[in-house]
Amino acid sequence: MPRGRFITIEGGEGAGKSTNADFVLQLIKDRGLDGVATREPGGTPLAEEVRSMLLAERDETVDPLTETLLIFAARAQHLAKVIEPNLQAGRWVVCERFTDSTFAYQAGGRGVERRVIERLAELVHRHCWPDLTLYLDVPVEVALPRLAGRGLDRFEREHKAFFERVRAVYVERADAVDRIVSIDASRELDTVKRDIGAALSRFIETG
Ligand code: Z5A
């Protein structure tokens, strides 16, 4: 049984990750391939509990290293229980967010040293990096209004400069890392989906 492929969808809040995750999974199934969709932080009951801890508003400020370690703890569980078993069973895994988010939010946003994240990634998933990452790029001033009218979590309450730093790291990684395909997600949803479909087809046919 050939190993499945690991596809991640990345981007800031309101970029359209959830909106496009099912679409990506459907494209994969349309090719006759088996696949599952999941997300981070979360994806297992325990990792979803960690997610709730991370997103909750609280009086106590959360130390950036604590936040980073919690994210990697959830990731280790998610890898062990969902990502690896499905890849080994030949299924394609479509995951909203993974370690590129940690570089963007914890290094870019919070100021955690990148080498800390590199070392944790080495420890937790040295042999399991995404095969393809679809990075949905949206300027902060376009993305934030998309969230209007819904309750905001601890991250979404951050100031604009935080989200600008997050985006800068994403853009830098999209330039530097071959597996990351940047898609302008500020356009109409149909146009974004067309580009996602094209990137996925290229990957399936050549990758
Ligand atoms: N986090 C972290 O810090 N470090 C890590 O390593 C990881 C995560 C893994 C929760 O993630 C938080 O975890 C996240 C970072 C942190 N914090 N924040 N903020 P999440 O992925 O669950 O949260 P999110 O990014 O906030 O989700 P989101 O706001 O729902 O974004 P989205 O999934 O990209 O957007 P969406 O729900 O698909 O779309 C939002 C709205 O925009 C919706 O009404 C859509 O209909 C609309 N939309 C989508 N695309 C379009 C286009 N093209 N045009 C117009 N409207 C659109």
As a whole number, mean pLDDT of residues 14-30 equals: 97
For position 113, what pLDDT does the model report?
A: 98
For position 150, what pLDDT does the model report?
A: 82
Give residue 96 CA to ligand 1 midpoint distance, Å. 9
Atom of ligand 1 nearest to the CA of 158: 19
Backbone angles phi, psi at 154, to 5 degrees: -60, -35
For position 153, what pLDDT does the model report?
A: 84
From the CB of 15, is ligand 1 less than 6 Å away? yes
Give residue 153 CA to ligand 1 midpoint distance, Å. 11
Atom of ligand 1 nearest to the CA of 185: 53
For residue range 196-205, list pLDDT tens digits in order.
999 999 999 9
Rg (CA), the chain: 16
Ligand 1: residue whose CA is nearest its atom 23: 13
* Residue whose C-alpha is closest to residue 99's, from 80, 66, 82, 124: 124
From the CB of 198, is ligand 1 less than 6 Å away? no
Backbone angles phi, psi at 62, to 5 degrees: -95, 125
Which of the four pLDDT bands, split at 50, 70 and 90, describes residue 155? Answer: confident
Residue 59 has pLDDT above 80, yes or no: yes
Residue 184 has pLDDT above 90, yes or no: yes
* Residue whose C-alpha is closest to residue 77's, from 45, 30, 55: 45
Map out the domains of the chain with their CATH numbers: 6-206 (3.40.50.300)
Which of the four pLDDT bands, split at 50, 70 and 90, describes residue 143? Answer: very high
Share of the chain above pLDDT 70, in %: 100
Integer Cα distance of 78 and 46 in angstroms: 9
Residue 53 has pLDDT above 90, yes or no: yes
Is 178:82 a contact under the CB 8 Å cutoff? Answer: no
Residue 16 has pLDDT above 80, yes or no: yes
For residue range 67-112, list pLDDT tens digits in order.
999 999 999 999 999 999 999 999 999 999 999 999 999 999 999 9
In this prediction the pTM is 0.97
